[in-house]
Amino acid sequence: MRAYLLALAVFLSGCLPVAVLRSPEPVSGRSLAFGLSALGGEGGAFLIPYAAYAQGDGQTEYNLSVQLGLRGGVKQALAPGLSLDLGLTLPPFLGGDGVPLAVDAGLLVGLGGFYLSPRVHWLGFTSQELNVSGFLYQGTLGYAGEGFLGEVGVLFNPRAGGSGAALFSLSAAVRL
């Protein structure tokens, strides 16, 4: 079971943006962020580096992030403290069954210095060994301070069932 959970964590972190690490407001100008995510479940924990670049005008932001997989996205302000965030992730490995990509859509809701990000991911490929395909769901609670982002999150795979259904993360980044 421990090997299964480790394989699932590596697979999902390579395919999906585990860390959100974006404030609810689109950037005005340019921004860089560098950090780490600790992923864990019953099978143990491991660290994955994170890097992101964003450019925007305060209403619309275009961003690129790397956390094993490469994600390109756009964030659009809907109201003060509320944004829609969309992205496309290419995993670091190409091959296997299906189209090797994942699409995500989420909201970023500001709560003072904190933010909440409910998100859904659609996987365009399958892994029979790990029982992963279709939709996965993510919930993130974070803090956006001056030059610092920190968050906790859970990624839920409804098809896995039992103890392998959730992947927990703790992420932090320095924003320049």
pTM greater than 0.85: no
Give residue-wise pLDDT tens across range 3-22. Answer: 555 555 555 555 567 789 99
Q: What is the pLDDT of residue 135?
A: 84
pLDDT band at residue 59 using 50, 70 and 90 as cut-offs:
very high
Q: What is the pLDDT of residue 71?
A: 93
Instruction: Name the nearest CA neighbour of 17 among 108, 80, 147.
Output: 108
Which residue's entry shows tokens 């829609």? 84
Q: What is the pLDDT of residue 109?
A: 98
Region of residue 147 (left: phi > 0; alpha: psi -120 to 50; beta: else): left
